[in-house]
């Protein structure tokens, strides 16, 4: 219903519809990386930390694959300890030609980027090539950093942040 002052109220079907539309858009944007990667193919930062600290019963390794550009990986934000940097644009070439990548098919591979969008594309690509253990780090480096989990930063960026 339209109020006397001309505003749409929550009892008005248009107002309720608008609220539902905004909520759906927010949900889609929030879940887009999961949708791209595959719903079950995600891990949150705290679960990843526990996974890295716990030996796997099937003796599978956990490989951290950061698909950001090299200057992002080595930049001020840093990277997760033991992560390997393979930019997304180079990933297909590594899948096709790198024996090391072929050996990873039976292991868990956690894909990492800034927010999860590029890593979601990498998860999809790896799964299409038979890497069933590929997982998306939910929220990417932003989520890892917000949980105050361990980071490797280059020496020059460590000096800048302490100055």
**Across-strand partners of 85?**
66
* Between 156 and 69, the higher pLDDT residue: 69
Going by pLDDT thresholds of 50, 70 and 90, the confidence category of residue 163 is very low
Residue 110, pLDDT score: 97
pLDDT of residue 55: 75
CA distances from 27 to 24, 32, 123, 156 (A): 5, 8, 21, 39
CA–CA separation, 158 and 12 (whole Å): 56
pLDDT tens digits along 103-137: 899 899 999 999 999 999 999 999 999 999 999 99
Quick check: 72 pLDDT over 60? Answer: yes
Residue partners of 68: CB distance under 8 A and separation at least 6:
79, 85, 87, 88, 112, 113, 114, 118, 141
């Amino acid at each position: 219903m339209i109020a006397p002052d001309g505003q749409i109220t929550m009892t008005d079907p248009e107002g309720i519809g608008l609220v539902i539309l905004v909520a759906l858009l927010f949900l889609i944007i929030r879940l887009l990386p999961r949708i791209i990667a595959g719903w079950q193919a995600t891990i949150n930062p705290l679960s990843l930390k526990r996974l890295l600290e716990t030996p796997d019963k099937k003796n599978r390794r956990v490989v951290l694959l950061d698909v950001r550009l090299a200057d992002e990986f080595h930049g001020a934000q840093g990277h997760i300890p033991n992560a390997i940097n393979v930019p997304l644009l180079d990933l297909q070439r590594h899948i096709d030609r790198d024996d090391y990548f072929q050996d990873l098919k039976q292991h868990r591979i956690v894909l990492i980027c800034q927010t999860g969008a590029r890593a979601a594309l990498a998860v999809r690509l790896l799964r299409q090539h038979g890497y069933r253990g590929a997982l998306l780090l939910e929220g990417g480096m932003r989520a890892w950093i917000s949980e105050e989990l361990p980071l490797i930063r280059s020496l020059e960026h460590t000096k800048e942040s302490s100055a």
